[in-house]
Every structure is written in structure tokens, then in C-alpha cells.
């Protein structure tokens, strides 16, 4: 595998360059980054909602409270569809949708954990994830502008660091390829 990576070191360089370009876009043109986030968020909530609905329907015979997961899934589907129906959505509306989804999902997780506490040993993890979702949603409700910019900057910072590391790795692999080519 190392030989294959060394042979194609330039692919990692390209990935790194594209990650850095994406980071620069996030820092200097955050509106485009927000548009991409809108698309990814809509896709995520839609797919997550579909899987939650499928899971609830497949488990309805065994579980009395299957409708909680169904409710969570339908909320995700609705938010995903609304996101795609309004592609020119503003950051404030996007953050309100994200915040509403986070609060609704968090509350459903907390309720499910409380109801499952006799059947589930580590229900506190589900409660904690629900609390984290609710807190995240409340923060976005109260600070939407700063929330959008912070999310974009975190993603941009990640992409910048990731890109630099990939380029560094690609140059190390290129050096490795040269030394193995010389040894051959």
C-alpha cells in the first residue's frame, strides 16, 4: 500500500490543494460556503430522517414507543425537503431550521432515553446526546449570525489544516518514491 501511495503522491497533493482552496473560499467568500452547507445539511437531514422512519417502522412490532423515532424521522425529512425547496435560504433561516431540528431531535432523544431506562443500561449517553442537541439548538436560536460564521470558520480551519497535512504527506511520499526508484 505504501508503494501505491508513493507512486500516486501527486493525487494527495491535488487533494491538499483543493482543501486549501476550499478553506480560502470559506474564509474570504463565506456566502458560497454557506450555500454548500445548505445543500449538505438538507441532504443529511433528509437521509437521516428516512433511516429513522425505516428504523421506526421495522421496530414497531417490538417496541411500544416506535412512534418517537418516527416523529424524529419525519421532522428530519420535513426539514430536508424545506431546505431543498428554498435553495436561496438565508443563513438566519438555515440556522433556525438547524436549531429547530437540533432541539426537536434532542427532546425526542431525552424522552426516548427516559422511557428506555429500564431496558437500556447506558441511557445516560442518549440523554447526554439529547441535551447536547438541545443546547446546540438554543445557542443557534440566540446567536444565529455568529453561529453561521463560526461554523464556516471551523470548517475552513479544518480544510486548511487537512490540506497542508496532505501536501506535506504527498511530498514525503514523493521523496520515498524517488529513493525506492533509485534503489531499484
Residue 154 confidence (pLDDT): 78
The structure's pTM equals 0.55
Condensed to tens digits (0 to 9), the pLDDT of residues 39-90 reads 887 888 899 899 989 988 887 877 777 888 899 899 999 988 988 887 666 5
| Cα 120 to Cα 114: distance, rounded to the nearest angstrom | 10
Residue 103 confidence (pLDDT): 93
Residue 167 confidence (pLDDT): 93
| Cα 100 to Cα 141: distance, rounded to the nearest angstrom | 8
DSSP state, residue 88: T
Q: How many distinct structural domains can be found in the chain?
A: 1
Q: Residue 168 — very low, low, confident or very high, per pLDDT cuts 50/70/90?
A: very high
Which residue segment(s) compose the domain that 124 sits in? 2-183
Residue 90 confidence (pLDDT): 55
Q: What is the CA radius of gyration of the chain?
A: 22
For residues 154 and 161, which has the higher predicted lDDT (pLDDT)?
161
Residues 1 and 169 sit within 8 Å (Cβ to Cβ) = no
Query: In the structure grid, which three cell numbers stand for residue 38, read together?
Result: 445548505
Helix, strand, coil distribution of the chain in percent, nearest 5? 85, 0, 15
Amino acid at each position: 500500500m505504501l508503494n501505491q501511495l508513493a507512486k500516486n503522491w501527486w493525487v494527495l497533493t491535488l487533494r491538499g490543494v483543493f482543501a486549501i482552496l476550499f478553506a480560502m473560499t470559506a474564509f474570504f467568500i463565506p456566502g458560497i460556503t454557506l450555500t454548500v452547507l445548505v445543500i449538505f445539511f438538507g441532504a443529511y437531514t433528509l437521509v437521516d430522517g428516512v433511516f429513522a422512519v425505516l428504523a421506526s417502522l421495522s421496530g414497531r412490532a417490538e417496541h411500544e414507543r416506535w412512534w418517537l423515532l418516527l416523529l424524529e424521522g419525519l421532522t428530519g425529512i420535513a426539514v430536508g425537503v424545506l431546505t431543498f425547496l428554498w435553495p436561496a435560504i438565508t443563513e438566519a433561516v438555515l440556522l433556525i431550521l438547524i436549531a429547530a431540528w437540533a432541539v426537536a431531535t434532542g427532546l425526542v432523544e431525552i424522552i426516548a432515553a427516559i422511557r428506555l431506562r429500564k431496558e437500556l443500561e447506558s441511557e445516560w449517553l442518549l440523554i447526554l446526546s439529547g441535551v447536547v442537541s438541545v443546547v446546540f439548538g438554543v445557542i443557534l436560536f440566540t446567536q444565529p449570525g455568529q453561529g453561521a460564521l463560526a461554523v464556516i470558520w471551523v470548517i475552513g480551519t479544518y480544510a486548511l489544516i487537512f490540506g497542508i497535512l496532505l501536501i506535506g504527506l504527498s511530498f514525503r511520499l514523493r521523496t520515498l518514491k524517488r529513493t525506492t526508484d533509485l534503489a531499484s
